[in-house]
Amino acid sequence: MWYVRYVVLLLFVSGFQYSGAQSLNNFVYSQSIKTVMCHKEGWPMSYPVIQLGTDEKIELSFDDLNNDSRSYYYSLVHCNSHWEPSDISEQEYVNGINQVPVLDFDFSFNTTVEYVHYKMQFPNEDIGINYSGNYIILVYEDFNREAPVLARRFMVVERKVQVQSQIKFAMNSSLRKQQQDINFTVTHRNFEISNPLHEVTVSIYQNQRLDNAIHDIKPQFIKPESLEYNYNRETMFEGGNEFRWLDLRTYEFRTEDVSDIHFHDPYYHLDLKPDESRNEKSYFFQNDFNGRYVIENREGRDPFTESDYVLVHFFLPRNEPFAGGDIYIMGGLTNWRIDDSSVMRYNPQFKRYEKTLLLKQGFYNYLYAFKTPQTDQATVSILEGSYSEAENDYLFLVYYRDISDNYDRLIGVAQSNSVKP
């Protein structure tokens, strides 16, 4: 439809964030929108993936610190494997009207910072999904699609193939202690693939990072019912380290991570203890959320409406700033973005990097990452170290498009862990 093309164009020219060839990305456009969570319904720690033709749903929630209810709506945009808008109309991939009101919301209770908590689950009786593939959900106010307040990625899979993976140490001796090498096989016993080199591509994501994802992976060996991917360097990831923990469940007393608590209306301020570099320390395993977070508080009953917002001050001592790049706080607490919203600033007076984030009470994971202006990919090895033994999640997305298709189908999704079988 003509207005879909118009909306997509407006999204690009009005600042819709993209990387590469106009790929649509996770982004929050309004400063009042906080704590955006997108996952499979009933599984907050999951990737936002559901299976086509089932009762599975995606759940999206967020807070609006304006504290008055707004007329929010959401729409879905189908994308290709590169997260660019597909060349199909919304009438093809959506059942119903692709402009659904957000009617499920609650006001915060007994918090110093007032907000409205919004939640939606889909597909539902108002909107259904016909095609597999990559999707963007846009949330906007008062029918104004060209000015979204947030955008989030999710995926719909057909499950036509299976993925078996092996995460191992790198073969190269110089990289063996720092890198994780990924080999995998795509099995398609009941799904015909005529030309795998042209019809099938695979993307791999480490944890929920977008900056270091590997795309457009082609099979090395083609067998009658399987495709094998046994690369050496092409599917290699920095092992990194276990994520740092942050407990913000209370501001009534100082937790292990907090050095000071003070209140300046309307916010509680939590000064964290200075973090140390871990790049020269021995690897030590500890359970973590692989960069995710959980909303929770010690004093209230409902974590989503009774958890407060606090200003959290991060400190990273350093005698002098790093040359040639910047330090970023990486994880779900910064929406996995490597930009101005997550960059730390060096304070020469106190000889440290500093960053203040407004966060909802809960448990958080994070890492410190370094990035130069010349690349889109960050590295954690400089401040965190990189260890091939580190525990990481890997997400495999298998796309298929034959000569008769006009969109990229998502025919397989698999998740593997570098430590847990």
- The three-state DSSP-derived secondary structure of 246-302 is EECCCCCCCCCCEEEEEEECCEEEEEECCCCCCCCCCCCCCCCCCCCEEECCCCCCC
Helix (H, G, I), strand (E, B) or coil at 93: helix
Helix (H, G, I), strand (E, B) or coil at 9: helix
Q: Do 368 and 288 share a domain, yes or no? A: yes
pLDDT digits (tens, 9 = 90+) for 243-272: 999 999 999 999 999 999 999 999 999 999
Average pLDDT, the chain: 93
Instruction: Evaluate if residue 148 carries a pLDDT over 80.
Output: yes
Q: How far is CA 22 from CA 14, 17, 137, 172, 419, in A?
A: 13, 8, 16, 35, 35
Round to whole Å and give the CA distance between 409 and 2.
Answer: 24
Largest CA distance in the chain: 67
Final residue belonging to a domain, choices 89, 124, 157: 157
Instruction: Evaluate if residue 22 carries a pLDDT over 80.
Output: no
Round to whole Å and give the CA distance between 41 and 120.
Answer: 10
Instruction: Evaluate if residue 14 carries a pLDDT over 50.
Output: no
Instruction: Evaluate if residue 407 carries a pLDDT over 50.
Output: yes
Instruction: Evaluate if residue 85 carries a pLDDT over 80.
Output: yes
Closest CA to 333 of 358, 298, 314: 358
Q: How many structural domains does the chain have?
A: 3
Domain of 10?
Answer: 2-157
Which whole number is the average pLDDT over 134-157? Answer: 97
Round to whole Å and give the CA distance between 179 and 184.
Answer: 16
Q: Do 345 and 268 share a domain, yes or no? A: yes
Round to whole Å and give the CA distance between 409 and 31.
Answer: 35
Q: Do 199 and 273 share a domain, yes or no? A: no
Q: Do 221 and 260 share a domain, yes or no? A: no
pLDDT digits (tens, 9 = 90+) for 26-74: 999 999 999 999 999 999 999 999 999 999 999 999 999 998 999 999 9
Which whole number is the average pLDDT over 80-89? Answer: 96
The pLDDT, as a whole number, for residue 165 is 96
Q: Is residue 204 a contact partner of residue 393, using CB atoms and an 8 Å limit?
A: no
Q: Do 94 and 23 share a domain, yes or no? A: yes
For residue 202, give the H/E element and its range: strand 200-206
The structure tokens listed for 278 are 């871990």
The reported pTM is: 0.93
- Least confident stretch, 170-184, 191-205, 333-347: 170-184
